Amino acid sequence: MGPSGTALPSPSSDVDVAATVKACLAAGDTQGAREHYGDLVRRHQRKATRIALYYLRDSAEADEAVQDAFVKAYTHLQTFEYGRSFEVWFTRILVNSCLDRVKSRSRRSRWMVAAEDLGDANPMDRAATPRHWSPEARTLERERGRRLMEAIGRLPERQRLVVVLSQLEGASTREVSDMTGLRETTIRVHLFRGLRRLRTLLADDPVFRRADADGGHSA
Amino acid sequence: MIERHLKRWAPRRTRREHLGDDALLEALLARLDPTAPPSRHTTHVTSCEPCSAAVSRLGASLDEATRAARYVADETIGADRLARQLEVIDRRLDGQPARLLRFPVRARAMRTQPGARRWVAMAAACGLLFGLAAGRMLGPAPAPSDAGAWPTGAADREASSAHEPVLADEHLLVEVDAALARTLHREFRVLDELTPRSVDVRRGRR
- Distance of residue A5 Cα from the nearest chain B Cα, in angstroms: 17
Q: Which residues contact B3 (CB under 8 A, 6 or more apart)?
A: none
A89 or B38: which leads in pLDDT: A89
- Residue A127: predicted pLDDT: 43
> Which residue positions in chain B have pLDDT lower than 50?
11, 14, 107, 109, 145-163
Name the residue type at position B7.
Answer: K
Residue-level pLDDT at A105: 80
Report pLDDT for B156.
47
Model confidence band, residue A11 (pLDDT cutoffs 50, 70, 90):
very low
Contact B158 A182 (CB under 8 A): no
> What is the predicted pLDDT for the residue at B154?
46
Write down the domain spans for chain B: 2-76, 112-146+166-205
Provide the number of CB pairs (under 8 Å) joining chain A to chain B.
190
CATH code for residues A9-111: 1.10.1740.10
What pLDDT score does A189 carry?
94
Nearest residue in A to B52, CA atom: A217
Least confident among A13-17, A141-145, B175-179: B175-179
Q: For position A92, what pLDDT does the model report?
A: 94
User: CA separation (Å) from A80 to A19, A42, A72, B60, B98?
Assistant: 9, 19, 12, 38, 25
Angle between helices B21-32 and B49-76 (to 10 degrees): 70
Is residue A82 within 8 Å of A19, Cβ to Cβ?
A: yes
**Mean pLDDT, to the nearest integer, of A161-175?**
92
Contacts of A64 in chain B (CB under 8 A): 98
Would you state the pLDDT for residue B131? 83
pLDDT-based confidence at residue A94 (cuts at 50, 70, 90): very high
- All CATH 1.10.10.10 domain ranges of chain A, comma separated, are 133-213
Class of A133-213 in CATH: mainly alpha
Q: Distance of CA A85 to CAs A15, A47, A184, Å?
A: 7, 15, 18
Q: Return the axis-axis angle of helices A30-56 and B79-93, rounded to nearest 10°.
A: 130
B153 close to A92: Cβ distance less than 8 angstroms:
yes
